[in-house]
Amino acid sequence: MGDKKFYGTVLLKADLILNYLYKASSPQPLSTIAEETGLTKSNLSKILETMEHIGFVTRNKTDKMYSLGPKFIKYSSKQLELYQFNNKVLDEIDDLYNTFDETVHLGVFQNDQIITSKKIQSSQSVVCISSDVGDTKDLYSSAMGKAVLAEMDDKRLFAYINENNFIAKTDKTIASAKKLLSEVERIRTKGYSIDNEENEEGVFCIGTAIVKERDEETREIVGAFSVSLPVYRATEEKVAEIVESLLEAKQSIQSHL
């Protein structure tokens, strides 16, 4: 699993800027953006000027504050069209939420990542679940991601392992190929995956993949869905109930694809 070298470091810097502006609750001055991203003011100013020109950021002429630009409205609306699931999928996701009142995620599988396309937040007290619609999750550390890995054939699975670095996000993250392969085998047997504080401390997650079978030889991994809850609510009895409902929803969804 070698390190990847990317061409065009200015794009990586632009990504830092966009991520910061996305998370900021209000428009930000250049000095704050520079401090939070680690970029020099002179370098940052040039990048922001270009990003403003193409619509990636907007600069208020009065207070000189920066925020995300209008170009993303066009991009996101187009992308969301690609991520639309049929009503049966959405109904099953809603039913899971209504049954357990725990946070439910639905994600699309694309480019070796899970992209969150729907999230229903629990009305109960929750620990921080750092996910929003449009966010991506790594396959090796998330319940939805590991469920997708289990649906891959061995050739594709080994290619993923060889081409990606596994970074421990918590002290429970599976960060070795051997342990991940063992976990994948368990998921293939059970039909569902578990993320026990591997992606985020304090969060327990149960997931399963959505697969469309066009015929006996053609299978498409569409995405995955999951139920997330704080570890202190993840009792053995409740987890068993969620697993049962999750697998029933999976079967119902796949029969309607």
Domain ranges of the chain: 9-74, 83-256
What is the CB-side half-sphere exposure of residue 129 using CA atoms within 13 A?
26
pTM for this predicted structure: 0.70
Handedness of CA 17, 223, 186, 119 (dihedral sign): positive
Are the C-beta atoms of residues 109 and 224 closer than 8 Å to each other?
yes
The pLDDT mean for the chain works out to 88
Q: Which two tokens stand for residue 211?
A: 């697969």
Please, what is the angle between helix 41-53 and helix 9-23, to 10°?
80
Reply yes or no on whether the pLDDT at 139 is more than 60. yes
CATH C-level class of 9-74: mainly alpha
Tens digits of residue pLDDT in 108-130: 888 788 888 888 999 987 766 66
Tens digits of residue pLDDT in 211-244: 988 665 678 899 999 999 999 999 999 999 999 9
Looking at per-residue confidence, does 139 or 75 come out higher? 139
CATH of 83-256, one of 3.40.190.100, 3.40.50.12780, 3.40.50.300, 3.30.450.40: 3.30.450.40
pLDDT of residue 87: 77
